[in-house]
Amino acid sequence: MPEFLQEVGDFSASSISPVFLLSILVFLSAAYYLRRHPKNKKGLRLPPSPPRLPLIGNLHQLSALLTAPSESFPGNTAPDATSPRADPHSRGLIRGGGAGGAQDPGPRLRHQALLRRRRRPHQSLRNVSFAPYGEHWRQGKKAAVVHLLSPNKVQSLRRTREEERDLYAFSNGFVCRVVAGSSAAREVRTQRFREAIDGATALLSGPRLEELFPSLAWVTKLPGADSRLKKLAKKWNALLDEIVAEHERRAGKREEAEEVDFIDLLLSADPADLIAAGTDTSYVVLEWAMAELLKNPALLERTQREVREAAGGKPAPTEDDVASMPRLRAVVKEVLRLHMPAPLLIPREAMEATRVLGYDVPAGTRVFINAWAMATDPEWWEAPEEFRPERFLREEKAAPPADLRGSDFQFLPFGAGRRMCPGMNFALCEVELALASLLYCFDWSLPDGAAPEGLDMAESPGITVRRKTPLRLIAVPNSAVLA
């Protein structure tokens, strides 16, 4: 044994006492545990977060969220620890300042976070989707559900749906028409609505500075800081004022058979919310469905055959025909799973302090529910990254079809609980009919003879996840029906 070691002590194996060994083991386990489950200054055990740097914490990871939220939220091609698509099990917590934001790390966290703490954090927004829990939200949602989105009302709108067909124009035209009347769906207005919706989507995508760093809230109050919001509000107000004025002019002169729309029922309500909530989401589903089908010619052929057989001979499919198109409906479900339009749902806020999976979630924490992670969790889904509509067909025994109505937490494209999407029935009828019509009336191919496998499937993240590059397709009328 070298001399210098002997000076410190004899560490040969025979001289180490079991008590000493045990103490080291206990110390190392405690250090490991505390590193994985750290307690903050208030003694709270917060959920795990991506690695933090001294002094600046997670600020360096947040810069992308604040400057280009649409690129740093879901769908990163190079996922990092803050991306909901990084790894279904290790999605972390983003701790900025103040309460910060917690991201649901997976299906196990769901109950408490999703169902019990349900206030939305956008205190300044007064529409249904972002309104905080309370009387204003309750009235708005009740009005939408009773007058527009109940199963009976959705059924009664089938003629209107069958009259309005064509991707974005379809979802926007249809929603505008039932919410605000047929004049709102005129082509020029559709374009103006699209601009207003795009503006709102950009503004609402990603977190806001004051929510991540409450101590910096004063920055947002500086003159000019909300100029984008003001411009957008002006656009919406101009559009809605015109529509409301038309309704007021028409009031009393209505023919009995004339369509009664949502504004007729609720002149005082805010239809902008429903038009925005109902247009982008449905359009995104249709665009992804067409992209996935074009990428997989065998699936396109099978689905198209089913649609054409079910609606055989008619000028266009009806909703009764769609009921006998299980494959087409499975395609829509699979799009809702793999290309979930709102992968983080709409953020919630913990109304009171709570504990989830052994972690403390302080009151006021902004919680993102990572529904996309649950829908692609290999624990629940076989080959989750593959587009396989068959998984929703009855004959596939391996994976029993998950219900999308908010009770199966591995599949929540419309959310769950009290703040669940009230437009689900409306959207499913609309999207299935539009997709069936596209496949029935046209033959589809990629431009310039492009290879299907080369079709770009990159996403452009935001509050709704659209395609990064718009889908360009060649449509040839189906001679059998359009002759």
Q: How far is the CB of 177 from ligand HEM (least distance, A)?
A: 11
Nearer to ligand HEM, 331 or 346 (CB): 346
Q: Beta-strand (E) ranges in 53-145?
A: 101-103
**Please, are residues 309 and 327 in contact by the beta-carbon 8 Å criterion?**
no
**Which residues from 391-420 bind ligand HEM, rule CB under 6 A?**
413-416, 419-420
- Taking CB under 6 A as the rule, does residue 174 contact ligand HEM? no
DSSP-derived 3-state class of residue 10: coil
Q: How far is the CB of 178 from ligand HEM (least distance, A)?
A: 8
* Degrees to nearest 5, angle at CA 297 with 293 and 299: 60
- DSSP output for 371-437: HHHHHT-TTTSSSTTS--GGGGSTT--SSPPPPTTTTSTT--TT--GGGS-TTHHHHHHHHHHHHHH
Binding-site string for ligand HEM from residue 270 to residue 309, where x marks contact by CB under 6 A and - marks none = ---xx--xx--xx--x------------------------
DSSP-derived 3-state class of residue 476: strand
**Phi and psi dihedrals of 442, rounded to 5?**
-135, 155
Q: Which residues pair with 467 in a beta bridge?
A: 459
Determine if residue 421 is labeled as part of a ligand binding site: yes
Contacting range for ligand HEM; rule: CB under 6 A; set: 23-31, 99-107, 153-161, 341-349: 341-349
DSSP-derived 3-state class of residue 106: coil
Among 93, 200, 293, 345, binds ligand HEM (CB under 6 A): 345
Q: How far is the CB of 137 from ligand HEM (least distance, A)?
A: 6
Nearest to 357 by CA among 161, 186, 109, 136: 109
Nearer to ligand HEM, 40 or 123 (CB): 123
**Which residues from 189-218 bind ligand HEM, rule CB under 6 A?**
none
Q: How far is the CB of 387 from ligand HEM (least distance, A)?
A: 17
Nearer to ligand HEM, 381 or 414 (CB): 414
- Taking CB under 6 A as the rule, does residue 141 contact ligand HEM? yes
Among 102, 144, 154, 310, binds ligand HEM (CB under 6 A): 144
- Taking CB under 6 A as the rule, does residue 346 contact ligand HEM? yes
**Which residues from 415-474 bind ligand HEM, rule CB under 6 A?**
415-416, 419-423, 426-427, 431
Q: How far is the CB of 111 from ligand HEM (least distance, A)?
A: 13
Q: How far is the CB of 466 from ligand HEM (least distance, A)?
A: 13
Binding-site string for ligand HEM from residue 233 to residue 262, where x marks contact by CB under 6 A and - marks none = ------------------------------
Tell me which residue has its CB nearest to ligand HEM. Answer: 415
Nearer to ligand HEM, 307 or 431 (CB): 431
CA-based radius of gyration for the chain = 26
Nearer to ligand HEM, 172 or 303 (CB): 172
Nearer to ligand HEM, 149 or 330 (CB): 149
**If residue 360 lies in a helix (H) or strand (E), which one and from where to where?**
strand 359-361
- Taking CB under 6 A as the rule, does residue 157 contact ligand HEM? no
DSSP class of 57: B
Q: How far is the CB of 173 from ligand HEM (least distance, A)?
A: 13
With contacts defined by CB under 6 A, how many residues of the chain interact with ligand HEM?
Answer: 29
Token readout for 161 is: 């749906």
Q: How far is the CB of 469 from ligand HEM (least distance, A)?
A: 21
Nearer to ligand HEM, 128 or 184 (CB): 128
**Please, are residues 390 and 114 in contact by the beta-carbon 8 Å criterion?**
no
Token readout for 27 is: 């110390």
**Please, are residues 420 and 369 in contact by the beta-carbon 8 Å criterion?**
no
Q: CA-to-CA distance for 149 and 142, rounded, in angstroms?
A: 10
* Degrees to nearest 5, angle at CA 266 with 260 and 270: 120
Nearer to ligand HEM, 167 or 446 (CB): 167
- Taking CB under 6 A as the rule, does residue 342 contact ligand HEM? yes
- 43, 60, 85, 237 from 63: Cα distances, Å: 28, 6, 18, 32
- 65, 101, 217, 218, 416 from 123: Cα distances, Å: 20, 16, 13, 15, 21
**Please, are residues 263 and 239 in contact by the beta-carbon 8 Å criterion?**
no
- DSSP output for 78-94: S--TTSTTS-TTT---B
Binding-site string for ligand HEM from residue 21 to residue 60, where x marks contact by CB under 6 A and - marks none = ----------------------------------------
Nearer to ligand HEM, 213 or 262 (CB): 262
Q: Which residues pair with 169 in a beta bridge?
A: none
Nearer to ligand HEM, 100 or 415 (CB): 415
**If residue 467 lies in a helix (H) or strand (E), which one and from where to where?**
strand 466-467
Residues present in the chain in total: 483
Binding site for ligand HEM (CB under 6 A): 128-129, 141, 144, 149, 175, 273-274, 277-278, 281-282, 285, 341-342, 345-346, 413-416, 419-423, 426-427, 431
Binding-site sequence positions for heme: 421
Binding-site sequence positions: 421
